[in-house]
Structure formats: C-alpha cells, structure tokens
Amino acid sequence: MTVSRRLFGSALAIVTLVIATGTGCSKSSNDIPVGAYLSLSGSDSTFGIDTRDGIELARQEVNEKGGIKGRKVNVIYEDDKSTSQEASNKVRQLIDRDKVIAILGEVASSRSLAGGLIANTKKVPMVTPSSTAVEVTKDREYVFRTCFTDAQQGDVAARFVFDTLKKKNVGLFYVAQDNYSAGLAKSFKESLQKLGGTIVVEKGYQSKETQFTTLLSDLKASKPEVIFVPVYYNDMVQIARQAKQLGMPGSMFIGGDGWDSSDLIEGAGEALEGAYFTNHYAPDVPWPNSQAFLKSFKAKYNHEPSSLSAQGYDAARLLFDAMGRATELTPEAVKTALVQTKDFAGATGTLTIDKDHNANKPIVVVQIKGKKFTYASQLMAQ
Amino acid sequence: MRVLDALITGLAQGAMIALIALGYTMVYGVLKLINFAHSEIFMMSAFIGLFLITMLGGTEHPLLAGVGGTLMAMVAAALIGMLVERIAYRPLRNRGKSSLVRVTPLVTALGMSVLLQNLAQLMFTARNRSYPQLLTGSLSLGPLSVGTSRVVILLTAVVVMVVLELIVKRTWFGKAMRALSANEEAARLMGINTSRVISATFALGSSLAALGSVLFCLDQSPVHPSLGLVVGTRAFVAAVLGGIGSITGAMLGGLLIGVLGELLKLTSFSGGTDIPAFLVLIVVLLVRPAGLLGSARAEKV
C-alpha cells in the first residue's frame, strides 16, 4: 500500500512538473500560435529537418514584414519521431495545449493521415507540404495539401513519356508491397494506356530487395523503350548500378519524386545519366519565385535547399497568406480562406486549391545531366 | 538461357547467405544458442569494410582495397564476435542447470542485437551508404556472360567452405569443437579448454559473416543499420532449413534459398519471393523437423 501511494505521489509530481514546463513553453500571448509536427528524429529525420528549415524561413520573412494583422507568428515545432502514433499525439497536444489556430505537417503520408484525422475531428485546418497519397485529403474538410498527388504525378509521367519523349512501349518496375510505388505505377499505367501506349512488361519486386540482375534482364528481354521505376532513391542506386552492368543506359529510366535526393547521384554516378523523373521542384526551375526562394534560403543556411525545404516554405507561406486573408484569426476563418486560395505564387509553382483540397499546380520534370538535377520541362497536373 | 543466368546469380546469392548461415549454425552447434547478434555483426562488418576499402583507395586500387579491406574487416568482425561472447554470453554460462539456462542467453542475444543496431544508428546514422564499385565487368564463358562479381563470390565461397570443412574435420580445434558439440561436460573433463574453443568459434563464425557482408555489399547492397535484419533472417532460415548445427546443412540451405529466390524472380511471383521460400521451410520442417541434414538425436530435457 505504501509503495503504491509513494508511486502515485511521484507520478503526480511528474505530471505537475510536465504541466508547469508545458505552460512555461508558450511564448508571449500576443503571438499567433501555429503548430508544426514533423519527423525531427528517427528514420526520416532528414525529411523533418529539411521541411522545418523551409518553414522557419517563411516565418522569419513574414515576421520581418510586420507579421499578420499586426501580430507576430510563432511556430511551435513538435517531433513525432517518425512514427504515426506520435504524430497523432503531437497534433492533439498542439490543439489542446497550445491552442494553435492551424497546423503544418507531415511529410510521410502515413503520418499525415494519422495527424489529419485528429485535426479534422477537432476542426483545426492542417496543411501538408509533401504528402502525396490521395487519401490524405479525401473526405477531410480541414486538411489541405500544397503538393501534387500520386495520381496526378503518375498521369504527368505518362504524358511526358508518350507526348514529349514519344515512347510507346514502356516497362514497369516497382515495389510490390509499397503503397507509394505500386500506386504510382498503377496511375501511370492507366494514363499511358488511355493515351494509346503499351505496357510491354511489368515486374514487381519485394521490398528490401537488393539483387536486381535477374529482374532487370527479364525486363530487358521484352525490349521496352523506357522503363518507369517509381521507387525510392536508395533502391534506385542499386537498380541503376546493376542495370549498367547489363548494358542498360540511364536514359532508359523514368522515375517519380521518390528519386529526389543527392544520395541518388552520389551512389549511381554515371549509371543514371540522361534519366528523367517527375518532381516538385528543381534548383534551376525558371520561375521567379523559385529563384527568390533559392537566394534567401542560401543566404540563411549556406547550402542548396532540397525539394522538401521548398515545399515546407510554400506550405507555410500559403498558410500565412490565408491567415492574412481570413476575416479573423480563428481556425474556422483560416479554413475558409484556405479553400478560397487561387493563383498563389509559390517557390514550387503557382497553385490553386481545388474542391478536393488538393493543389492544382505544374509538375516539374527533372533530367539527370552531368551528375546534376536539371530542369527539363513542366506539365500542368490534371 | 535466362534460367541459366538466374541459376548462376542464385548460386552466388546462396553462397553469400550460406557464409552468414555458417555463423548461426556453428554457434548453435557448440552452445545450443541462437546468436541473434550474429546479423548485427554482419552489419557492423559491412560498415567497417566500407571504411577500410575507402581508406585503402577504393576504385583507385581495387585489388589492394578489395582484398585488404575484406581481410581486415574479417579480423575486426572476429574481435567483435569474441567481445560479444565475452561480455554478454560467457557470464551467463555455468549458472546452474535450471530451465532458464536456455532462455536467458537467448534473451541476452536479442538484447545484444537491438543494442548493436541502435549503436550503429547512433554512430553511422540511418543513411544508406554505397560501396565503391570494385567488381564490375563480366567474363564470358562460352555463350554465357557472367558478371565478375558472381565469379568472385562463387570462387571465394567454394574455397572458404572447403577450408572450413578441413578445419572442422582435420584440425585439433575442429575436433574440440565437435567434442564440445557432442557433450560439453565430457569435453571439459577430457581437458578441452571449452571457453577458448567457444571464443574461437565465435571468431570464426563472425569473420565468415564479415566476408559474406563485404561481398554482398560490393555486389549489390548499400550499408545501413538495419542491413542485418534483412539478410540475417534469410541466413537464419537457411541454417534451420539445412539443419541447425550442421555445417554442410547451412551451406545447402543457403544455396537452396538463393537459387529458389532467383528463379522465382522470373515468374509473376517476383513481388513476393519470400513467400514460397518460407513455405518450403515449413514443409521441410514438417517432414524433417531437424532440417535437411540435421541430426534427429533425441535430447534429454
């Protein structure tokens, strides 16, 4: 009995301490509280940190210009440790404890789904900068996104292959058990077939596979003109290396935004020379806002921004813009302003929020040239 | 033709799995312990191999970097293996003969595995690192063109397995190992320093895993902290399939898993190659519970 009472006592003390520090955390009451939940540690920590860099730049810029409606913006960052459970906990915490009026996050679709559920139930608007799964905004009144969806991306890749590259016989190579990879392959296939192209060969592989030689020679035997490989960059490094051994040129491969990492070029080297992939952004994209972003980002952080930083920057700026347009600073009014977003000029292109709360914006096609990501073309998402 | 290609790739793949499976099976043979930390030693030696190969010049001196790096990684892995045994398993041995005697080391092994994996994540971060490409090009054997890496892997594996067989069957150490496996107490009474033999077994198994891991990464894989989990499972299955405790069994199991996996990639099951491989495991274990070449000797409980 004494033990449990003592235990209860110390638990109470800890709880009190947590509440005390919790309240101590919030900034001066006049700032506008905006929440951001990101993977700042754990397996996807680079995603979270890059996105935070973009958001911080946007916050700094808006505050330097006098804030919103005369009040400064305070972004409260929470780390979800790259897990879905923590994502919903942190969103709950941001809404209940910090009383934020809007939320930014996450990068991974699985975590945006988890966090978005809470935000939607509690009627606080949430803007995800980089979650591309269609379900994230589906039937969720309070969830928005500033990036394209997997369905839009697959369609753009198919139109690029068919219309721009004029290739008709295409191979498909994807991770069979991965939602992102298999989903993107599916939407690509549907669009290409609608355009009149043919999928001559289709191969799925098991996630965590490293030996691609047999699979690649099987693909090669069907003589596709190009192969669409919507996988993550880590897998693509090995695929490209082993394809080179089989004499398959880099220009044979087309990918999606999962390719976007400097690790891809570092690992694959010349093996991917000439390959194309669809992306949110490229450092040399000719839009004026992108160049302005590039300059101020480099001035603040001394390195080139990744796509994720650009997307984080855009999501934050779009949200601040909506907050400025809102009739008052309440979650409901900000949500209404977000719905009305039209022709917002971002670093990742000019976007309009459609009725499904997705972004209508151009998708960039990047080519790997001279071991660098270079802007090749842009197509409007449909 | 394509089947033949896949067969050769499968044999190379299986040879690497077998090299790792040997570590599981040898430790089980002498200690009746499933050393779950073995897959982490495999992962750690892949990191050490990468650093050594890069240090020795990488693609500029492929022969020196490749051979030197591999040998040094094997030595380092042997040291790590001995260290793990010394600090995690040895203190638990000779702790009475209760039923817990088998469970405690098993849980310790799991703990060691988690510890090493997290340690690697802390030291090397979760980022994937690619090996320099040292084994490029291909050799043509008649109408067949086989990648150099496959040839190197197969040759190395054959040599290593023959040497291992000789060590086990012809040397004093091998005899001691087999004696220990048959009956530890009797072996000790016969004057065998069991601790030293166990230590050497760990060293040998770990260095073979290091050889397997460096070859595996040179051929096809980036290095990352969860590398051991992926390949380790397959190697463990190979060891059980062949009959855990049996060295020839581990080799056979590895080759079977490798060839089966590669051949399945030619079919429309390519998206789930592990499913049939594990089905085979279940069927084999139902028919022969001790594995293909395992001894079905009844154990006193």
Residue A8 has which token pair? 């209860």
Q: How close does chain B come to A173, measured CA to CA in Å?
A: 10
> Residue A170: left (phi > 0), alpha (psi -120 to 50), or beta?
beta
> A204 to chain B: which residues are within 8 Å by CB?
270-271
* Claim to verify: residue A275 and residue A166 sit in the same structural domain: yes
**Partner-chain contact B138 A245, CB within 8 Å:** yes
* Claim to verify: residue A232 and residue A355 sit in the same structural domain: no
Residue B120 has which token pair? 């690697």
* Claim to verify: residue A234 and residue A165 sit in the same structural domain: yes
Using CB atoms within 10 Å of the CB of residue B176, give its burial: 0 to 12 exposed, 13 to 18 middle, 19+ buried: buried
Encode B202-231: b = buried (16+ Cβ within 10 Å), e = exposed: bbbbbbbbbbbbbbbbbbbbbbbbbbbbbb
pLDDT digits (tens, 9 = 90+) for A338-356: 999 999 999 999 999 999 9
Q: How close does chain A come to B44, measured CA to CA in Å?
A: 18
pLDDT digits (tens, 9 = 90+) for A253-262: 999 998 988 8
**Partner-chain contact B271 A176, CB within 8 Å:** yes
Average pLDDT over residues A217-239: 93
pLDDT score of A2: 46
Alpha-carbon distance of A228 to A174, in angstroms, equals 8
CA-based nearest residue in chain B for residue A268: B130
* Claim to verify: residue A121 and residue A226 sit in the same structural domain: no
For testing the chain B interface, which of A210, A232, A244 should be mutated: the one with the most B CBs within 10 Å?
A210
pLDDT digits (tens, 9 = 90+) for B171-188: 999 999 999 988 888 998
In a domain, A371, yes or no: no
CA-based nearest residue in chain B for residue A211: B220
Cis ω on the peptide bond leading into residue A190 (within 30° of 0)? no
In a domain, A372, yes or no: no
Checking if the pLDDT of A18 tops 60, the result is no
In a domain, A366, yes or no: no
Query: Would strands A344-346 and A349-353 be described as parallel, antiparallel, or unpaired?
Result: antiparallel
* Claim to verify: residue A113 and residue A133 sit in the same structural domain: yes
Q: Using pLDDT thresholds of 50, 70 and 90, give the confidence band for residue A382.
A: confident
* Claim to verify: residue A329 and residue A206 sit in the same structural domain: no
- Domains in chain A, number: 2
Alpha-carbon distance of A269 to A36, in angstroms, equals 36
> B133 to chain A: which residues are within 8 Å by CB?
241
* Claim to verify: residue A305 and residue A324 sit in the same structural domain: yes
pLDDT score of B106: 87
Using CB atoms, which residue from B6, B220, B273 is nearest to A242? B220
Q: How close does chain A come to B266, measured CA to CA in Å?
A: 7
**Partner-chain contact B272 A176, CB within 8 Å:** yes
Q: Using pLDDT thresholds of 50, 70 and 90, give the confidence band for residue A1.
A: very low
> B13 to chain A: which residues are within 8 Å by CB?
211
Q: Using pLDDT thresholds of 50, 70 and 90, give the confidence band for residue A10.
A: low
* Claim to verify: residue A144 and residue A162 sit in the same structural domain: no
In a domain, A377, yes or no: no
Q: Using pLDDT thresholds of 50, 70 and 90, give the confidence band for residue A332.
A: very high
Q: Please count the residues of chain B.
A: 301
The residue with tokens 């274990």 is: B285
- The contacts of residue A121 (CB under 8 Å, 6+ apart) are none
Q: How close does chain A come to B143, measured CA to CA in Å?
A: 15
> B145 to chain A: which residues are within 8 Å by CB?
none
The tens place of each residue's pLDDT in chain B, 301 residues long, gives: 788 889 999 999 999 999 999 999 999 988 888 899 999 999 999 999 999 999 998 888 888 999 999 999 999 999 999 999 999 988 888 776 666 667 888 899 999 999 999 899 889 987 888 898 888 877 877 777 788 888 999 999 999 999 999 999 999 999 999 999 888 889 989 999 989 999 999 999 999 999 999 999 999 989 999 899 888 989 999 999 999 888 889 999 999 999 999 999 998 888 888 887 788 889 988 998 888 887 755 444 4
Last residue of a domain, one of A232, A261, A279: A279
Q: Tell me what ipTM this predicted complex has.
A: 0.88
Owning domain of residue A165: 150-279
Tell whether A218 lies on the interface with B, counting CB pairs under 8 A.
yes
Residue among A240, A227, A205 at smallest CA distance from B133: A240
Contact by Cβ (8 Å): B208, B165:
no
| Mean pLDDT computed over every residue of chain B | 88
pLDDT score of B99: 60
* Claim to verify: residue A247 and residue A172 sit in the same structural domain: yes
pLDDT score of B271: 86
Q: How close does chain B come to A55, measured CA to CA in Å?
A: 24
In a domain, A380, yes or no: no
pLDDT digits (tens, 9 = 90+) for B187-243: 989 999 989 999 999 999 999 999 999 999 999 989 999 899 888 989 999 999 999
**Partner-chain contact A206 B136, CB within 8 Å:** no
**Partner-chain contact A214 B221, CB within 8 Å:** no
* Claim to verify: residue A169 and residue A204 sit in the same structural domain: yes
In a domain, A79, yes or no: yes
Residues paired with A143 in a beta bridge: A126
The residue with tokens 């650093």 is: B51
Checking if the pLDDT of A26 tops 80, the result is no
Domain boundaries, chain B: 2-132+145-287
> B147 to chain A: which residues are within 8 Å by CB?
213, 245
**Partner-chain contact A245 B128, CB within 8 Å:** no
Using CB atoms within 10 Å of the CB of residue B54, give its burial: 0 to 12 exposed, 13 to 18 middle, 19+ buried: middle
Alpha-carbon distance of B268 to A215, in angstroms, equals 11
Cβ contacts below 8 Å, chain A against chain B, sum to 77
Q: What is the CATH number of the domain that holds A351?
A: 3.40.50.2300
Checking if the pLDDT of A25 tops 70, the result is no
Checking if the pLDDT of A6 tops 70, the result is no
pLDDT score of A361: 92
Checking if the pLDDT of A32 tops 90, the result is yes
> A238 to chain B: which residues are within 8 Å by CB?
130, 220-222
pLDDT score of A11: 52
In a domain, A376, yes or no: no
Q: Is the alpha carbon torsion for A38, A43, A49, A55 positive or negative?
A: negative
Tell whether A176 lies on the interface with B, counting CB pairs under 8 A.
yes
Average pLDDT over residues A89-102: 96
Last residue of a domain, one of A279, A297, A323: A279
Using CB atoms, which residue from A46, A205, A242 is nearest to B270? A205
Residue among A299, A187, A274, A171 at smallest CA distance from A226: A171
**Partner-chain contact B221 A204, CB within 8 Å:** no
Q: How close does chain B come to A370, measured CA to CA in Å?
A: 19
pLDDT digits (tens, 9 = 90+) for A113-171: 999 999 999 999 999 999 998 999 999 999 999 999 999 999 999 999 999 999 999 99
* Claim to verify: residue A68 and residue A206 sit in the same structural domain: no
pLDDT score of A168: 94
* Claim to verify: residue A144 and residue A8 sit in the same structural domain: yes
Last residue of a domain, one of A260, A279, A298: A279
In a domain, A121, yes or no: yes
